[in-house]
A = this chain, B = another copy of it.
Amino acid sequence: MKASLIIIGNEILSGRTQDKNLSYLATWLNEIGIQLSEVRVIRDEEDEIIDTVNLLRKKYDYVFTTGGIGPTHDDITSESIAKAFNVDLETNPKALAILKEYYKDSELTEARLKMTKIPKGAELVENPVSKAPGFKIENVFVMAGIPKIMQGMLEGAKIHLSGGKPVKSESIDVFMPESFIAEELSNLQDKFKDVEIGSYPFVKDSKYGTSLVMRSSDETKLSDCKAEMELMISKLV
């Protein structure tokens, strides 16, 4: 099962805010056997959101979006998603009930009521942090951009997701430049086609090293690959 993430927000593209949702979602999806295959970061612009959602929801099993479902003028995600699915954006009675329970009447401003407008036919996704919910429409999950809220919503989205076998990973760090082991690595990759082998250089205490990362949903092949990798390294050191 494959998923994509659409990060919606000018604040990410301006460099003001460092995204933290990508790596969290990727790791979380791995654990339930879903591969994050593509991410797009786009501006808060209606046409961009509509086109991107409509393209990716056909290409992947699941699409997640983050950002733009708050109360202010620059929060246009819900409306854009409704347009993408060609449905009305309307006050959702459950969402209204949730906010009515959370806020006093005087606090339930016009701006907050904006957060109860949900595309017709969508199911709510619970927000345990600040209540205003996300939603799911077909295979698209629309979530907040604030990491804590997004993480809470993911737990609520879980019941709607069916994955495969979780992807496990093994990692070995060696203090040699990756170019010294490139040929052997390539041979190992040819031998273990079901294991994704990555090589990532690092610098630690002024010494060059390489992280060798193996990832697979087949635990036997993963451990076989790791054993051969260790043997290979012991011959090179």
On A, residues with C-beta under 8 Å from B are: 7, 10-20, 22-28, 30, 35-43, 48, 70-74, 109-112, 114, 146, 167, 169, 178-183, 185-186, 189, 196-201, 213, 215
Contact = CB atoms under 8 A, between A and B. Distances in A.
Given A73-B185, A180-B109, A182-B109, A14 B38 contact: no
A20 B20 CA distance: 10
A128 to B, nearest CB: 15
Contacts of A16: 23, 169, 198, 200, 213
28 contacts: A11-B198, A12-B39, A13-B26, A13-B35, A13-B38, A14-B169, A14-B215, A15-B24, A15-B26, A15-B27, A16-B169, A18-B20, A18-B23, A19-B22, A22-B41, A37-B43, A38-B41, A39-B41, A70-B201, A72-B178, A72-B179, A72-B199, A73-B189, A109-B180, A111-B179, A111-B182, A112-B179, A114-B182
A-B CB proximity, top 5 nearest = A15-B26, A111-B182, A15-B27, A73-B186, A39-B41
Given A71-B179, A185-B73, A39 B36 contact: no
Contact of A71 (B15, B19, B43, B178): B178
A66 to B, nearest CB: 13
A186 B109 CA distance: 14
A152 to B, nearest CB: 14
Contacts of A15: 22-28, 30, 36
Contacts of A215: 10, 14
A39 B22 contact: no
